[in-house]
């Protein structure tokens, strides 16, 4: 069938493209330019492209707008969620087992060393630290956003305060070697309990003020990743968030410095060297975590923080309690007053 010729310099622009002047002499000559990011055109020879609504994004051909997918640490699509879930469960069960063993051997010398009640508090805080990982998994909602950073901060402060109390106990014990020493009266367990209570109460106060002044909330981030809506927890106030982390770091640093100073002093059950290693690991993990946390976005920020929580909790658990477990389970003959006296005489 015969068709009339068309006076055109080029083919028509398909949907997904727009017409753009090419600077030629003829107005019928133009270039076909793909629509810009986030825009569509659904007619032939469109003069302009139209921006999609904030909740939508162009399809591959840039012809229609489709809903943006939501992104978060999902139980349905992210394998890492099950990895973290498995690690948190394994570490929690391990902590419970250690707790049970320590309760069983409650009145033995190695458990009594450096105050067994403080060791119990430390184990419980480590267990709660592993459990708080569950607040970071799955789709963020209002209650998990309120609880995950504050619970992490409080549980960790109780744990690090317990480590600090154990370190102070070691320091006082070596200063109170003489019967007439003024340090003898400070060997009371009440001193350790007071350290744990006061140091952790400061963190509780920080978190309460944070929740009252500028609490965390669920945020829908449309800007960080084009074509996705990031569901995340906005911390509300960066000042209070970093105050919580900074105070935690201060406690860990003080514990590390005190333990480092008395790590080589002779004693059968001197925990100082183990506390030194645990706090060194703890501080290293969180110092490395901060730049990694600040340089990522979306669910990657959550992944970095979960990794830091699991690693630091596991490090403290292993460094402080595994040496005691070795003696309790594999060398019970060393867990006696007679051995302590012989070693101290040597």
Whole-number pLDDT of residue 84: 93
- Parts of the chain belonging to CATH 1.20.1070.10: 79-337
Whole-number pLDDT of residue 266: 57
Whole-number pLDDT of residue 185: 64
Whole-number pLDDT of residue 96: 95
Whole-number pLDDT of residue 342: 45
Single out the residue of 271, 273, 274, 279 nearest to residue 255, CA to CA. Answer: 279
Residues 333, 342: Cα–Cα separation, whole Å: 13
Please state which architecture CATH assigns to domain 79-337.
Answer: Up-down Bundle (1.20)
Which of the residues in the chain have pLDDT under 50? 2, 341-346
Residue 33's DSSP bridge partners are 18
Whole-number pLDDT of residue 202: 94
Q: Which residues 6+ apart lie within 8 Å of 96 measured at CB? A: 127
């Amino acid at each position: 069938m015969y068709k009339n010729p068309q006076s055109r310099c080029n083919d028509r622009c398909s949907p997904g493209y727009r017409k753009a002047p090419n600077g030629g002499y003829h107005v019928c000559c133009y270039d076909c330019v793909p629509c810009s990011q986030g825009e569509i055109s659904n007619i032939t020879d469109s003069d302009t492209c139209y921006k999609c609504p904030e909740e939508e994004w162009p399809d591959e051909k840039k012809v229609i707008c489709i809903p943006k997918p939501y992104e978060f640490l999902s139980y349905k699509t992210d394998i890492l969620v099950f990895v973290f879930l498995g690690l948190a469960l394994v570490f929690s069960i391990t902590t419970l087992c250690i707790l049970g063993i320590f309760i069983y051997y409650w009145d033995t010398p190695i458990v009594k060393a450096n105050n067994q009640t403080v060791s119990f508090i430390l184990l419980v805080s480590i267990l709660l630290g592993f459990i708080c990982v569950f607040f970071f998994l799955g789709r963020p909602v209002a209650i998990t956003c309120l609880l995950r950073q504050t619970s992490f901060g409080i549980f960790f402060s109780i744990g690090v305060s317990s480590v600090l109390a154990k370190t102070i106990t070691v320091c006082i014990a070596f200063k109170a070697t003489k019967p007439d020493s003024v340090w003898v009266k400070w060997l009371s367990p009440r001193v350790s309990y007071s350290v744990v209570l006061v140091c952790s109460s400061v963190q509780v106060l920080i978190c309460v003020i944070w929740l009252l002044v500028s609490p965390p909330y669920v945020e829908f981030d449309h800007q960080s990743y084009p074509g996705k809506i990031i569901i995340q927890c906005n911390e509300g106030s960066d000042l209070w968030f970093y105050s919580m982390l900074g105070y935690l770091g201060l406690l860990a640093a003080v514990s590390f410095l005190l333990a480092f100073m008395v790590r080589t002093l002779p004693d059968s059950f001197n925990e100082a060297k183990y506390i030194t290693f645990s706090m060194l690991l703890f501080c290293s993990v969180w110092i490395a975590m901060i730049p990694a946390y600040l340089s990522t976005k979306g669910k990657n920020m959550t992944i970095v923080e979960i990794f830091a929580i699991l690693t630091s909790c596991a490090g403290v658990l292993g460094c402080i309690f595994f040496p005691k477990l070795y003696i309790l389970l594999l060398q019970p003959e060393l867990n006696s007053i007679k051995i302590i006296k012989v070693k101290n005489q040597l």
